Structure 1
Amino acid sequence: MTDIRPDIRQIEADIYERLSHVIDPELGRSVTELGMIAAIDAHPASEGGYDVDIRVELTVEGCPLSQTITNQINGAVASYPGAALTPHIEVSSMSRDKLADLVAGLKAERRQNPFSKPGVKTRIFAIASGKGGVGKSSVTANLAATFAALGYDTAAIDADIYGFSLPGLFGVTTQPTNLDGMLMPVTAWGVKLISIGMFAGADRAILWRGPRLQRSLEQFLSDIWWGTPDVLLLDLAPGTGDMAISVAQALPNAELVVVTTPQPSASDVAVRSGLVALQVPMRVRGVVENMSWYEHKGERLEIFGAGGGARVSEQLTAALGHDVPLMAQLPLEPEFRETGESGRPAVLNADGTLRDDAMGQAFRSLAERLMA
């Protein structure tokens, strides 16, 4: 009888190598690197080919992404050439000690704000406005969703502690997963999110002063496992308060994007949010004019006036000594607001793809200009 054990050992080794390309969606590492593949056992099947038993240990019991991971493992095994493999996957959770060792290793690897390290490749855009009500959070949410739809690994921090709104705009009602003391951001519409609005008691009025605000940002940056996103967006509070200064100190490589509406009462104040760059190490990248017009029966109605974005661009260019372009003019669309309030970034279709209309094209162009 022919000895088949060497073939089986080779099959098991090949499957393990294939599983090294299966990425845990939350931690952004392969399931083999994270120690999630506890065992692989191949053996001949009675009807020919091989049965393969794979024991998977998830980091969290009842992980909501377990089906996603299982599907990826099935796909990796199915790609094995030259032998009929039937996978049988047993899913359990890591022991307390194994999970503690994993988290300790991840924390030791990071040790600090991961976005301030030399050589970091994450592009960071802080979305600011001079006053509230100009659609800054809506622009942040839809820009983040656009980046994700274009294939970028995207993260967003709701740094507007007093007026957080990103959870609602993304339809998030769950809390971050606590991985043995390390929090995982909530993923919605392809974007990794964190907001004070995701935690218990967040419906109450928040009366924090400067030091606690700064500490909240430090925790969002350091105590959350972000992986290595391509893009990080921060939705800042209106004005030039403590959080804007904290962002500049913690993320000196951040680029500021100023949102305004066309009327002078908004654009004049918006200039001040950009002038903060004269006092802190932050570059102003550009200006976005929101609610530029309303289209009615083929006619563009400038309900809030005209020229606000251009005025902010010109004044900041003159004051800062470098080009601060008007990067986008976004129309006013009631449907856009209604869809956003339903919990889906309105720039996306229901299947998560980017809308192929004027609004979708405007956000695509904005994203591409920012990444250029």
Structure 2
Amino acid sequence: MTELVATTPGVLPLPDWAKDRLGSLKGHQKEDLVDGDEGAEITDVYAEARAAVADWQTTAGLHRIGEGQLRWDDMLAHPLCVHDAVETRGIVRYYDNNNFYREPVVSGELTFDGDLADDLDAFVAMENAPESVQAVVPGPYSLADLATDEFYGDEAAFLDAIANFLAGEVRAFPDVETVFVLEPSLVTAPPDDDLAERASEALDSVADATSADVVVQTYWGALTEKVHAHVLDADVDAVGYDFVTNHEDNLYNINEYGTKDDISLGLVDGQNTLVEDPEKVAERVAWVDSQIPASEFETTYLTTNTELFYLPVNRTTAKFEALAEGAALAEADA
């Protein structure tokens, strides 16, 4: 029987108390929170918030506990926005919603930074740190899509550079159970055939940098058939599918072209404040299983379809509970 793992793609909302404390710090600017050079007061706020979000997830019963990516004011663009070789310019709409990020313009070589590993190191060093830790990174194609290149001069070379940069960051991670690689741009701005092959190779670079299980989480629709085929060529453990936004095309891709031995199901809406019942989550698990002939996945991840920073904290924790309780119900019904 498949192992059901309740988790999320991370990028969680910052608690209101943490926002208030950060906002009250004398001389605070938004850049102070994300440039990697925060003072002790700011660092302490994030440490407390990190412990809080770990408690939210553990209390709800999630099986993989994430650091929360609370410093990611620029969402998936964050790793570039804090890099010394990157200049942040104007405010850009984050995909097709009401969130915005600072445009990262790469003007120099993307050398190792260590920002992501520093957050994870702090997380696993906490008192009462969770045992089953899940890391989150932007997918190389999505990170390249969100950025502007003024150094590498070629779309393919830029993607390769982003992939090598991310691989270096992941290589510095402490031991984690899983790494979720978030790739919405593969859906929203699908690459052409040549670049799709390079995107698959870019995923290989990131996956090869860790011994953890790697899940490529796609969302905001379904992959085109060709892009889906290229993603399956990547040496990753699971592909994630958004069953909230487009269940029909995602099912078609799986049934027509197959998928990995593990699978991630985006079953709960990460942007809508309406909270799904655990019974509804279990029903969706059973429905997906019934629609995939001879499905016997080693591990099935149950998750929200998108990041969760769009939601208030009370809705976020309620979504955690729905996923964890829904997984338990689905397992009991199997």
Q: TM over 0.5, yes or no? A: no
With the length of structure 1 as denominator, give the TM-score of the two structures: 0.35
With the length of structure 2 as denominator, give the TM-score of the two structures: 0.38
Higher relative contact order by CA 8 Å / sep ≥ 6: 1 or 2? 2
Larger Rg: 1
User: Whose helix proportion is higher, 1 or 2?
Assistant: 2
